[in-house]
A = this chain, B = another copy of it.
Amino acid sequence: MFQRPRGTRDFAPDEMARRRLALEKMRETALRFGFREIQMPTFEELELFTKKSGPGIVDELYAFKDKGGRDIALRPEMTAQVMRFYVSDLSSLPKPLKLFYFGPCFRYENPQSGRFREFYQFGAEIAGAETPETDAEVIALASAIVAAVGLKGFVVRVGYIGILRSMLKDLKFSDADIAMALHFLDKNDVEGFTKFASQKSISKETVDRIFSIRNLKGGIEILDKLDDGKAKDYLRETMNFLSILGVKGYSVDLGIIRGLDYYTGMVFEMDAPSLGAEKQICGGGSYDLVPLFGGEQVFTTGFALGFDRVLIAAENEGVEKSIDELDIYVIPVGEGSLEKALGIVETLRGSGLRVDYDLMKRSLSKNLKYASLVNAKRVVIAGEKELAKGAVTLRDMKSGDQREIKIESLVNEVKK
Give the interface of A toward B (CB within 8 A): 1-5, 8-13, 16-17, 19-20, 27, 31-34, 36-45, 47-48, 51, 62, 64-67, 70, 72, 74, 81, 84-85, 87-90, 93-96, 98-99, 104, 106, 108, 118, 126, 128-129, 131, 133-134, 137, 144, 240-241, 244-246, 293-294, 324, 326, 329, 338-339, 342-343, 345-346, 349-350, 352-357, 359-361, 369-370, 373-374
Contact = CB atoms under 8 A, between A and B. Distances in A.
Nearest to A70: B5
6 contacts: A2-B45, A8-B41, A16-B37, A134-B360, A240-B339, A245-B342
Given A126-B359, A245-B346, A13 B41 contact: no
Nearest to A40: B10
Number of copies of this kind of chain in the complex = 2
A34 B108 contact: no
B94 A373 contact: yes
A366 to B, nearest CB: 10
B39 A11 contact: yes
A274 to B, nearest CB: 25
B2 A338 contact: no
Given A4-B88, A359-B128, A10 B31 contact: no
A48 B1 CA distance: 10
Contacts of A51: 2
A33 B11 CA distance: 20
Contacts of A27: 20
**Central interface residue in A37, A47, A359, by most chain B CB within 10 Å:** A359
Contact of A10 (B85, B93, B104): B85
Contacts of A87: 1-2
A186 to B, nearest CB: 27
A34 B370 contact: no
Contacts of A293: 1-2
Given A1-B88, A3-B88, A360-B129, A66 B72 contact: no
B349 A32 contact: yes
B5 A72 contact: yes
B99 A13 contact: yes
B96 A4 contact: no
Task: Say whether chain A's binding surface is mostly helix, strand, loop, or mixed.
Answer: mixed
A354 B35 CA distance: 9
Contacts of A66: 5, 62, 108
B41 A10 contact: yes
Contacts of A329: 34
Nearest to A87: B1
A77 to B, nearest CB: 15
A287 B155 CA distance: 51
A90 B12 contact: yes
Contacts of A246: 346, 350
A94 B359 CA distance: 12
Contacts of A41: 4-5, 8-10, 118
Given A44-B5, A294-B2, A339-B244, A96 B62 contact: no
A20 B17 CA distance: 17
A10 B83 CA distance: 12
A88 B338 CA distance: 34
Nearest to A38: B16
A15 to B, nearest CB: 9
A118 B2 contact: no
Contact of A84 (B4, B34, B342, B369): B4
